[in-house]
Amino acid sequence: MQRSELLNQLTATPVFDLAVIGGGATGLGVALDAATRGYKVALFEAHDFAKGTSSRATKLVHGGVRYLAQGNLSLVREALRERAVLLRNAPHIAQALAFVMPSYKWWETPLYGIGLMLYDLLAGRSAIGSTQFLNPQQVLDRLPQVQSGGLRGGVQYWDGQFDDARLALAIARTAQKYGSVVLNYCSVESLRHKDHRLTGLRCKDMESGRVFDVNAQCVINATGVWVDGVRAQDAAESGTKIDPLVKPSQGVHLVVDRSFLSEPYALLVPSTQDGRVLFAVPWLGRVILGTTDTPRDDVPLEPRASDQEVDFILQESARYLTKAPQRSDVLSVWVGLRPLVRPQRSRSGKSKQISREHSILISESGLVTVTGGKWTTYRVMAEEVLQTCLDAGLLAQNGKACLTSDCRLVGTPETDADAMATDQRATTHTLIDAQGPHSYGSEQSLLSKLPGADVWLCQGLSEAMVRFAVRFEYARTVEDVLARRSRLLFTDAQLALRLSDQVASILSSESIQEPQLAAFKAMAQHYLLSGSSQ
Ligand SMILES: Cc1cc2nc3c(=O)[nH]c(=O)nc-3n(C[C@H](O)[C@H](O)[C@H](O)COP(=O)(O)OP(=O)(O)OC[C@H]3O[C@@H](n4cnc5c(N)ncnc54)[C@H](O)[C@@H]3O)c2cc1C
């Protein structure tokens, strides 16, 4: 469906059941849940889908090994269940991956091994592989690049990895398939109230400047680290003030080539020198190193890495890898802001100690705010939001229960025959390799029929993929294509910059009036290490 048709639906619908503000993991999950239950849904994203935190994760579908260490077993059990659901419902976007923890102290292997066996036990029927004790040679077979001096063995366990931005797109497309109006580049400018009750919102199509007044029974604020701005607007209507809900924490990732981690295994360092977790994860033909956890007070759309954060990741990686990564090895640096929920009482303290669990609040006017959590649990968070709306009478009961645990996302092979027709690799480890047609799951044949299917701009990005992004995946700008349909900006920022002119001309041939080439070139500088520092 064309963008103009989606916009027309805004005027053609007198009242939506649900209006969702924010097109990241949280908002998209809520839209999909409501749409599959038959509610009339509109979702508004001010920029592009997953432009915020939801394209900047470490790409792990995980139960949370560190929550295990904190003893938060119910959180781990729930996330492990959701891990299995996600791997089943989007096998072309989320896949199992083996992680190896090398041990250099005698007590590490038994301690971590027993902890990870508990992790397997908590997964129960959702387990995706068994924890295994490794001798030093077995560690080196899997991770030939780790330091061998003093290596005592290690532990291998299983979690998942995914492509966060492409998962967001698949959820948006699936929600639309179930009748939702999902709009990127459509910012919510204000909330509309009547007699102090929230009745809808005013949004602006950022391309045309056209403004729409939308009526909705229930409005969900799923704007991630930006939720407090929307809450403040809501409270101002009745002359009150809010207590901030979110304490943002910044996480930096560096990307290097596969010579630093050549085999299809991720490295996990459970405790760095300052007590954090460090990952080295093979992803789309590169290796992601990260991350950090730095509290900040502001919430920029494009946060920048500080020199200290970059140095921390390089130094910690060098302690475990035989070839120490240098600044000159970094192909891309990206930064995300975690929407950590502030503890109820103490608002000081380090962000490492703040819970990753989500929070759902209903304001006096009826605005439902949801934030926190993690990508892995987006589906179950959405289910809880819908239940909260039903319990509060903000959404009329229609007798339909949550359906999303069995809802295959767009691109998932639907039958065994489809699965056979799809490249077999699409259901195994394609996320480790560079992106390619296999990333499109059951839509590979659709992709192969578009003009330019054999014209490669670089490994993993064809002209047809750019056209597919415009025709089926809501891409409007060069950035949308190079950052979130293809992930080139995240895997090789220089290469993304070099290809941006070509991408812009393909977009123009697809009738995109303003592909925003200059804006992309300026923004992409932030992903080059020379462009970092706050
Ligand atoms: C460094 C880091 C690593 C992480 N790693 C993992 C991981 O490996 N696995 C995992 O499960 N989770 C991970 N997470 C957590 C996960 O990424 C987040 O929990 C999740 O992406 C939050 O999604 P969200 O939709 O709440 O926020 P966002 O993705 O930020 O979405 C909010 C959206 O609201 C939009 N918006 C704001 N104001 C308006 C408005 N007025 N009108 C319309 N739209 C508006 C924004 O543009 C934005 O797109 C990580 C997070 C970080 C920061």
CATH number for 209: 3.50.50.60
DSSP H/E element including 17: strand 16-21
Distance separating alpha carbons of residues 69 and 181, to the nearest angstrom: 42
Residues 252 and 128 in one domain: yes
Distance separating alpha carbons of residues 125 and 449, to the nearest angstrom: 40
**For ligand 1, mutation pick of 226, 359, 371, 379 (most atoms within 8 Å of CB):** 226
Question: Cα separations (Å) of 125 from 86, 121, 131?
Answer: 14, 9, 15
Residue 346 lies inside a defined structural domain of this protein:
no
Is 254 close to ligand 1, i.e. is its CB under 6 Å away?
no
Distance 24 CA to ligand 1 centre (A): 5
Residue 418 lies inside a defined structural domain of this protein:
no
Tens-binned pLDDT, residue by residue, of the chain (534 aa): 789 999 999 999 999 999 999 999 999 999 999 999 999 999 999 999 999 999 999 999 999 887 887 888 999 999 999 999 999 999 999 999 999 999 999 999 999 999 999 999 999 999 999 999 999 999 999 999 999 999 999 999 999 999 999 999 999 999 999 999 999 999 999 999 999 999 999 999 999 999 999 999 999 999 999 999 999 999 999 899 999 999 999 999 999 999 999 999 999 998 888 788 899 999 999 999 999 999 999 999 999 999 999 999 999 999 999 999 999 999 999 999 999 998 755 433 344 444 458 999 999 999 999 999 999 999 999 999 999 999 999 999 999 999 999 999 999 987 654 554 444 444 457 899 888 888 999 999 999 999 999 999 999 999 999 999 999 999 999 999 999 999 999 999 999 999 999 999 999 999 999 999 999 999 999 999 974 444
Residue 415 lies inside a defined structural domain of this protein:
no
Of 318, 341, 364, which one is at a domain's C-terminal end?
341
Which residue is associated with the tokens 């659901």? 85
- The token duo for 272 is 């760095």
Residue 513 lies inside a defined structural domain of this protein:
yes
Looking from the CA of residue 51, the nearest atom of ligand 1 is 49
Distance separating alpha carbons of residues 40 and 528, to the nearest angstrom: 42
Q: Whose CA is nearest to atom 26 of ligand 1?
A: 224
Distance 107 CA to ligand 1 centre (A): 37
Residue 421 lies inside a defined structural domain of this protein:
no
Residue 443 lies inside a defined structural domain of this protein:
no
Looking from the CA of residue 79, the nearest atom of ligand 1 is 11
Distance separating alpha carbons of residues 216 and 58, to the nearest angstrom: 35
Is 160 close to ligand 1, i.e. is its CB under 6 Å away?
no
Is 59 close to ligand 1, i.e. is its CB under 6 Å away?
yes
Residues 321 and 237 in one domain: no
Is 44 close to ligand 1, i.e. is its CB under 6 Å away?
yes
Is 52 close to ligand 1, i.e. is its CB under 6 Å away?
yes
Of 341, 367, 383, which one is at a domain's C-terminal end?
341
Residues 334 and 188 in one domain: no
The CA-to-CA distance between both ends of the chain, in Å, stands at 41
Distance 188 CA to ligand 1 centre (A): 17
Of 315, 341, 367, which one is at a domain's C-terminal end?
341
Residues 83 and 228 in one domain: no
Is 22 close to ligand 1, i.e. is its CB under 6 Å away?
yes
pLDDT, tens only, 320-347: 999 999 999 999 999 999 999 987 554 3
CA torsion angle 345 347 353 354 (round to 10)? 80
Q: Whose CA is nearest to atom 19 of ligand 1?
A: 374
- The token duo for 174 is 């699936």
Distance 48 CA to ligand 1 centre (A): 12
Residue 317: which domain range? 67-162+247-341
Distance separating alpha carbons of residues 359 and 448, to the nearest angstrom: 43
Residues 255 and 333 in one domain: yes
Residues 78 and 202 in one domain: no
Residues 261 and 337 in one domain: yes
Residue closest to 82 by CA, chosen among 323, 404, 325 = 404
Residue 441 lies inside a defined structural domain of this protein:
no
Distance 224 CA to ligand 1 centre (A): 5
Give 385's contacts (C-beta < 8 A, 6+ positions apart). Answer: 30, 33, 220, 360, 368, 370
Residue 231 lies inside a defined structural domain of this protein:
yes
Counted domains in the chain: 3
Q: Phi and psi at residue 181, in whole multiples of 5°?
A: -95, 115
**For ligand 1, mutation pick of 53, 279, 335, 361 (most atoms within 8 Å of CB):** 53
Residues 139 and 191 in one domain: no
Residues 454 and 503 in one domain: yes
- The token duo for 336 is 């995300």
Sequence length of the chain is 534
Residues 274 and 211 in one domain: no
Is 60 close to ligand 1, i.e. is its CB under 6 Å away?
yes
Residues 260 and 402 in one domain: no
Residue closest to 220 by CA, chosen among 32, 404, 33, 43 = 43
Residue closest to 339 by CA, chosen among 217, 487, 221 = 221
Residues 252 and 125 in one domain: yes
